[in-house]
Amino acid sequence: MAATKDSVIIDVRTEPEWVSGHLKNAAHIPLADIGNKIKSHEPNLDKEIMLYCRSGNRSGKAKIILEDLGYTNVKNIGGISAASKLLDIKIIK
């Protein structure tokens, strides 16, 4: 799987987790804010959105929230390490 210019990658972890390292080019919207902030970040309901967190648990919850809001192409790509390997994107600070 590869992220493309047509994909959005979102880190749903907390601010301290984000600051400690995140995928290059990822956006940061904590799980607690995803329902309120996603439309201003990505209004296209059909856009591919890839979500990750620390282990895949929170990104799974975020996926359900986005699908409930009408997003049709949402993927839980797991924890940050797995997401980094899956997408071949470096973790940066």
Catalytically annotated residues:
53
For the chain, what is the total number of helices (H) and then of strands (E)? 4, 6
| Residues 6+ away with beta carbon under 8 Å from 13 | 22, 28, 30, 31, 53, 54, 58, 80
CB 55 within 8 A of CB 28: no
Radius of gyration of the chain (CA): 12
